[in-house]
Structure 1
Amino acid sequence: MSTITLADRIDGLLPQTQCTKCGYDGCRPYAAAIAAGEADINRCPPGGEDGVRALAALLDRPAPALDLSRGHPGPLMLAVVDEAHCIGCTLCIDACPVDAIVGAPKRMHTVLDDVCTGCDLCVAPCPVDCIAMVPAGRAWTADDARHARARHDGRARRLREGAGADADADRRGDAAAEEVPPHEAEARKRAAIENALARARARRSRPGP
């Protein structure tokens, strides 16, 4: 029978937006740090003051003021891709912690509105600045948090399994597994992005009909 740990109980009070504004790589690592006494309970902007008070009550300690250096609480936001300018580089897909962005290389990407947590982690990697954060027009709910946690855990599991499969292929010397040094793989990706940018610039410079 599983035992619910203090970190589990803390994690259950966090919003699961997985925004990393707390300084940790997601809500669960932050919960573990709080449980271990390594982080204060006021570092979650999406949770706001209510979140701080809930954590304080759980841990039976005074509630400190929200650490605004981590960001300011506000309404739920939603990422929106400008389809006309998207170059299909997939960097936003790689950055999304809950698989809320779908698309394929060199094809337009789109955001699943009911899955996006408003974390804005997809905005900075976009090389053509075609992602904007807009008000979602609704509040974040406990059901949203549960679904976001499940998607985040599923993504992490998939990435671990993918990394394990790659390592197994390397150990077997699988001829089908192409061994590419990390710096070369990164160079290839950057070259693909530069090509996509060039195509986007050319498309924008064409005269209208």
Structure 2
Amino acid sequence: MNPLLIEAIDALLPQTQCGKCGFPGCRPYAEAIAEGRADINQCPPGDQEGIGKLAQLLGVPPKPLNTSHGLPRPGKVIARIDEQLCIGCTFCTRVCPVDAIVGAGKQMHTVIAAECTGCELCIAPCPMDCISLVSVAEKTDDIWRKQAADSARSRYHFRLQRLAREKQTSPKALRSKAIAQPKITPAAAEERKHAIVQAALKRAMAIRAQADNNRPPVK
């Protein structure tokens, strides 16, 4: 493995961390390219411009985007949460690769627009379908784009470090919690979880119904 080559490849990737290339982030994809385990045309966000840069770096002919990994989006998009419908399930915060979604359990979540990469990973897990992608104005100068990519890369690596720390400390926390609290049977725990979800969904459906009633009729 050539660390310098991996760094050079990673620097050319868009840092959306979307996983569409078949790898869990831009850095793993860069490593796979450097090792010959992946092709240069598997990144939809990078599109033909990114493929051309990778081809020039590696001294190989450019090739068309492999659309089996997805299609590029025209312009920049970010995620937006309909805060009236959000039930605070935290599913979106768990999958955001750059920690660009904030919000506690049973509390409204929101997207940090400046940090969102538009990766789309938060959309599928949302049980209320209250997350959508919206187009935003995109700065086109290379300096700004590099700064945005560097920020996304840093947040991605920081998240990986945070998850690693939580994985190490969670067993201790779980043991302490088990000692402090009475044991709950799996059936009781599942019943409690189901009740919480159903209550949250009931609240969300009421909010959605109210929003539909207040929406002006289509002329």
* TMscore range, shorter length: 0.7 to 0.9
Q: Of Structure 1 and Structure 2, which has the larger fraction of its residues in helix? A: 2
Match of 1:142 among 139, 146, 171: 146
Distance 1:204 1:186, change over 3 A: same
CA contact (8 A) 1:91 1:126 kept: yes
1:67 and 1:177 map into 2 onto residues whose CA distance is 53
Q: Which moved further from structure 2: 64-73 or 175-184?
A: 175-184
Q: Where do 1:119-134 residues align within 5 Å?
A: 119-134=119-134
> Paired residues, what number?
206
2:87 and 2:22 map into 1 onto residues whose CA distance is 30
Distance 1:93 1:146, change over 3 A: same
The corresponding residue for 1:27 is 26
CA contact (8 A) 1:76 1:139 kept: no
Moved over 4 A (4+): 168-174, 176-191, 205-208
1:34 and 1:178 map into 2 onto residues whose CA distance is 51
The corresponding residue for 1:195 is 199
Deviation at 1:139, TM superposition (A): 4.0
The corresponding residue for 1:76 is 76
Match of 1:163 among 160, 167, 173: 167
2:121 and 2:71 map into 1 onto residues whose CA distance is 16
1:193 and 1:203 map into 2 onto residues whose CA distance is 15
Gaps of 5+ in 1: none
Deviation at 1:203, TM superposition (A): 3.5
2:152 and 2:182 map into 1 onto residues whose CA distance is 34
Deviation at 1:165, TM superposition (A): 1.1
1:36 and 1:184 map into 2 onto residues whose CA distance is 49
Distance 1:184 1:77, change over 3 A: farther
Give the number of the structure whose alpha-carbon radius of gyration is greater. 2
Q: Which moved further from structure 2: 52-61 or 159-168?
A: 159-168
Deviation at 1:159, TM superposition (A): 0.2
The corresponding residue for 2:217 is none
1:40 and 1:204 map into 2 onto residues whose CA distance is 45
Deviation at 1:77, TM superposition (A): 0.5
Match of 1:175 among 172, 175, 179: 179
Letter in 1 for 2:18: C
SS in 1 for 2:99: coil
1:182 and 1:149 map into 2 onto residues whose CA distance is 40
| Partner deviation per Cα, 1:1-46 (whole Å, 9 max, x = no partner) | xx84221211111110001110110101111111110000000011
CA contact (8 A) 2:15 2:152 kept: yes
Letter in 2 for 1:164: Q
Aligned sequence identity (%): 49
Letter in 1 for 2:40: I
